Amino acid sequence: MEQNFITFSETTQTFHLHNNEISYIIKIEEDGVLNHLYFGKAMKHYSGHKTYPRRDRGFSGNVPGNLERAYSKDTLPQEYSTHGSMDYRLPATIIRRENGSNLHDFRYFDYQIKTGKPKLEGLPQAYVMAEKEATTLIVVLKDRLQEIYLNLTYTIYHERPIITRSVSIVNQTDESITLEKIASLQLDLRNDAHYDEVISLPGAHLKERQISREKIHGGIQSFESRRGASSHHMNSFIALVNHNTTEFSGPAIGMHFVYSGNHAFQLEKDQIEQLRVLVGINDYNFSWLLAANESFQTPEVILAYSDQGLNKMSSTLHHLLRERVARGEHQYKERPILVNNWEATYFDFDSKKIEEIVDEAAALGIEMFVLDDGWFGHRDSDNSSLGDWFEYEGKLKEGLKGIADYVHKKGLQFGLWFEPEMISLDSKLYQKHPDYLMQEPNRTPSSSRDQHLLDMGRKEVRQNIEQQICAILDEVEIDYIKWDMNRSLSDVYSLALSERRQGEASHRHILGVYELIENLITRYPKILWEGCSGGGGRFDAGFLYYMPQSWPTDNTDAVERLKIQYGTSLAYPISSMTAHVSAVPNHQTGRITSLKTRGAVAMSGVFGYELDLTELSEEEKLIVKEQVDYYQKIRPLIQFGEFYRLNSPFEGNLTAWMFVSCDQAEAVVLMARTLANAQPVFHEVFLTGLDKNACYEEQITKQRYFGDELMNLGVNVPDFYGDFQTTFIHLKKV
């Protein structure tokens, strides 16, 4: 008998979205107010017994049109709220009409249940491969007085503890309205839901996605970016947890905003300790003019539920992002081991220097060479040539094609760096099209890193850049592209928009970037595309839809990387996270760590090198060759196995994580100790995810263990000597 994953009860007036792991319940209250009842562990049925209790709360006014004092939008957990109907909490949407009013009151109007998952045009999103994977509920709300409709879209995956949410608004009035705020998700939780802490991923350039866990307090907490991108500073992900939630137990709700621009996660704990969560485009510097009969679609939010702690939440998100957000030919392909010339040469290179690095890479078994910044225009420093995507004549003896051919003849793949969203004032493009900049007329635009922003919301700008890139890609055989963006947005003003529409410029810019990338990845499907934004400034679920991997940080220091990679793994799959070995002293921190330690940390991601191979000693070359050989053996396990966090670098001197194959036949454990102690305390690391009845052999020592003893007794942390030490444990089932 086929299961109904979304049901509607006429008797109880409830929608129930459910599978074997989760339930989500919505109730239509009297007068059509949409009430959130439950999101959590699965229930087969809902009898309707647990309705929201009513009580007269001082200064919480009635639902408009209803005289019952105990019935108030100010306390009722709602599915979607708006300003102007006696709910004084943060609203999900603010809409201003031509008469200046922003008062609205949306009530239930209609619903649809559909098999599959509708496509959001022009936006990144989670998708399905077949309609039988998911079912979608669309609940239509209508303003009581105006012909303005909200379509709340909920998709439940049948075999995953995942629900996606988005909202579209349709203006069927005969006048224009202005959206001043429109969230993609509202989640109102009663205090008995027991979510009293929030985890976020704040950071900075070179220090991205640090884990912050804090108490949810009375009032408003906000986690947001106003930089025009998802940013180094506050990633577009949060998790709601209980104070007792650990990596392996307790409830957790993970929330990804599938968008690469300004975002806001707003939490408000009200006067009776209920929690409202809003997720969407940041209303800072945002507005959208919606003419009569026009609609607006918000980006999507992914909700993942776990009742088994943070590792289970992360695993759910890893699988969804890897399997139903990432796309293309390289989605499941093992990613090549590369060497990038940036930290080896910066802008100072010629054909001879590049060929020497390529020769060494080929001898060491490295699989790809990437030519970074400096190959185009007349670029010898970072103050020129962005926007001029043609070869720097004479810098490379036989040009890009000559280098690409040389790399391919050596048996390596060839990659190339671009920064397509930026323009230098010292460029031919600026000389010809100064109006292509994001800039207010008669105001000198702000410079950052000696570069400015192209207005990607304009079709002619996108077409110019696309044509230049295609001219290179059609001429040169390129296997990989690193797509960079090295500044935050500023001077957000589009010469193509009227003054009433300037609040649209930032969102239109992001939509334009998405369109440009979609055109290119469609035209060149065999290329492996990697995102970058000064490292991790745009490491988000939205960009993963277009590029299956991104450079998570410009910080290549192995010790710093422990925290960055650990924090990133909370929300993102390992296959999306590139990690390279660089030279010492490290270019960002000045720290000296062993090549062994640098390799061990980098091998916990999509592996590569960011140094001058020609300067390595013979001993170092031998170590690199061993690292390359070893990574090739464990690459499927690292990139596509189950990942578990064991010991957090945020909580002590020891870091441990592990990878387990899907069939539990193989596992690799990394243990890293940061600083040495004169009288070290003994520690064990308790493994997880193994077959408890199986016998495993450690591949170096050949010692044998049973799965249950490794998980229950643990393994001793080695007696490391010195700072910054690492070791691998490699287990195979016998």
Residue 253, beta-bridge partner list: 240, 305
Contacts of 592 (CB under 8 A, 6+ apart): 584, 585, 586
Half-sphere exposure of 733 (CA within 13 A, CB side): 15
Q: Which amino acid is at 717?
A: V
Catalytic residue among 188, 484, 540, 557: 484
Q: Look up residue 239 and give its two tokens.
A: 């998790």
Is 573 buried (19+), middle (13-18) or exposed (0-12) by CB count in 10 A?
buried
Query: SS3 of 125, please?
Result: coil
**Separation between Cα atoms, residue 637 and residue 657, nearest integer Å:** 13
578-582 vs 606-610, strand pairing mode? parallel
Measured in whole angstroms, how far is the alpha carbon of residue 383 from the centre of its chain? 30
Q: Look up residue 372 and give its two tokens.
A: 């970074």
Residue 301, beta-bridge partner list: 165, 257
Q: Look up residue 342 and give its two tokens.
A: 């940036």
Nearest partner of 506 among 298, 297, 295, 287, judged by Cα:
287
Query: SS3 of 387, please?
Result: coil
Query: SS3 of 203, please?
Result: coil
Query: SS3 of 626, please?
Result: helix
Is 9 buried (19+), middle (13-18) or exposed (0-12) by CB count in 10 A?
middle
Task: Identify whether the C-beta of residue 19 lies closer than 8 Å to the C-beta of residue 157.
Answer: yes
Nearest partner of 80 among 109, 51, 100, 122, judged by Cα:
109
Catalytic residue flag (residue 484)? yes
Catalytic residue flag (residue 554)? yes
Helix (H) or strand (E) holding 304: strand 300-306
Residues in the chain, overall count: 734
Q: Look up residue 426 and give its two tokens.
A: 């010292």
Which ranges of 453-594 would DSSP assign to H, the alpha helix?
A: 459-475, 505-523, 541-544, 558-569
Catalytic residue among 554, 612, 663, 719: 554
Q: Look up residue 629 and give its two tokens.
A: 């050989």
What are the strands, taking DSSP E only, across 398-466? 413-418, 422-423, 452-453
- SS3 sequence of 227-274: CCCCCCCEEEEEEEECCCCCCCCECEEEEEEECCCCEEEEEEECCCCC
**Separation between Cα atoms, residue 731 and residue 88, nearest integer Å:** 57
**Residues labelled catalytic:** 484, 554
